[in-house]
């Protein structure tokens, strides 16, 4: 199997449930909700358990042990439940002697643990990087787990989580299909913009089978849950912009809210088929930043398969802002005539020549799909 031809999509437990509230009932109910609310059919097909699912010690056979209070049925049974609903089972492990939640790490046990994950039916392994033994080589630790997964007897995608852009020149060579670029996102507009701009600095490293990962999404947290309590929450406009930016970045789309309690407004954002299509575009090019025409405009352009271009005009100011779009710097001539569609509101805007402009509300984004005529 060739992993991640397109950016992975799914759900991860961490942003809402953190290390204190995750358990098998939550995961099973989330899997059911992803089916019932249409997320699976929209492409969100990974259900991933993050840190704090396991104990601090291994059993007498050297196996990782699920927390029996939180996961009394065991991880294979949980994986089977997810698979029966047509989705993939994602699990978390750490490259150090302990995970960040003080659970057992995989350092020195990579082959053994990879075989265990295969036995449990794991499809995606999020491999984090904490409590590393002094003197360890970063690249080697990721290579060890990447190789162990390839030898495990099961196709398991490696999602590397180091949290820095410094890994981008070599991380793909470990076998990783996605890689975290920064520390944890929080449920705030400032954090969303910060991690997005960080990802833009390494756009050339992202593409089919290997994707820059700004972080899991906070859309719909509304100040609730683990990360929601840290950031405090966002407005609907901010969440809409957040999702639009992640789609432009060809970022993995991993939901982080409590899917069971998804509101209609949040579902509308996350199930926008036109934005998802931009994220999942066959070309797989991450958006780049256009030179600002005025007022430090923050505008992204993403070339699409077939010749169209998606533009995202982001107002990160605290007041409404008139923003100017020119297609001079995206491969077209400034005088080219183009037809524009608003893919957030699903409306045709007409034909334009020599660019156009719009007033974008504060902390909001507009996404246009443009076709040269």
Residues with active-site annotation: 128, 184
Q: What are the counts of helices (DSSP H) followed by strands (DSSP E) for the chain?
A: 10, 16
Distances (CA, A) of 360 to 11, 320, 331: 30, 6, 25
Contact 275, 240 (CB under 8 A): no
Beta bridge partners of 322: 359
Q: Are strands 88-94 and 309-315 parallel, antiparallel or unpaired?
A: unpaired
3-state secondary structure (DSSP) of residue 350: strand
Q: Are strands 211-213 and 176-180 parallel, antiparallel or unpaired?
A: parallel
Looking up tokens 């909700």, which residue turns up? 33
Distance CA 129, CA 329 (A): 39
Distances (CA, A) of 11 to 16, 35, 155: 11, 12, 20
3-state secondary structure (DSSP) of residue 293: coil
Contact 50, 16 (CB under 8 A): no
**What radius of gyration do the chain's Cα atoms show?**
21
């Amino acid at each position: 199997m060739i992993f991640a031809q397109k950016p992975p999509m799914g759900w991860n437990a961490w942003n809402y449930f953190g290390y204190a509230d995750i358990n098998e009932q939550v995961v099973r109910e989330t899997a059911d909700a992803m089916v019932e609310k249409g997320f699976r059919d929209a492409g969100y097909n990974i259900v991933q358990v993050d840190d704090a699912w396991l104990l601090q010690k291994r059993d007498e056979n050297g196996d990782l042990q699920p927390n029996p209070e939180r996961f009394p049925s065991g991880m294979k049974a949980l994986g089977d439940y997810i698979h029966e609903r047509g989705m993939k089972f994602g699990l978390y492990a750490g490259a150090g002697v302990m995970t960040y939640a003080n659970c057992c790490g995989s350092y020195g046990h990579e082959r053994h643990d990879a075989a265990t994950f295969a036995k449990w039916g794991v499809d995606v392994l999020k491999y984090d990087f904490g409590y590393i033994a002094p003197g360890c080589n970063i690249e080697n630790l990721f290579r060890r787990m990447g190789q162990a997964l390839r030898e495990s007897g099961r196709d398991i995608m490696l999602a590397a989580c180091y949290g820095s852009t410094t890994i981008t020149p070599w991380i793909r060579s470990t076998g990783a299909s996605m890689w975290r670029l920064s520390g944890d996102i929080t449920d705030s507009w400032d954090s969303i913009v910060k991690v997005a701009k960080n990802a833009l600095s390494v756009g050339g490293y992202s593409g089919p089978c290997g994707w820059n990962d700004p972080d899991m999404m906070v859309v719909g947290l509304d100040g609730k849950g683990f990360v929601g309590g840290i950031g405090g929450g966002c407005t609907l406009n901010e969440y809409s912009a957040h999702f639009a930016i992640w789609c432009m970045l060809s970022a993995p789309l991993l939901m982080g809210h409590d899917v069971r309690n998804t509101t209609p407004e949040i579902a509308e954002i996350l199930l926008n088929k036109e934005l998802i299509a931009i994220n999942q575009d066959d070309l797989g090019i991450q958006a780049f930043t256009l030179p600002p025409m005025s007022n430090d405009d923050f505008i992204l352009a993403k070339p699409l398969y077939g010749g169209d271009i998606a533009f995202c005009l982001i107002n990160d100011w605290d007041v409404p802002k008139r923003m100017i779009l020119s297609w001079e710097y995206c491969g077209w001539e400034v005088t080219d005539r183009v037809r524009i569609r608003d893919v957030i509101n699903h409306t045709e805007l007409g034909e334009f020549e020599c660019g156009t402009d719009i007033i974008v509300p504060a902390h909001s984004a507009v996404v246009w799909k443009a076709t040269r005529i």
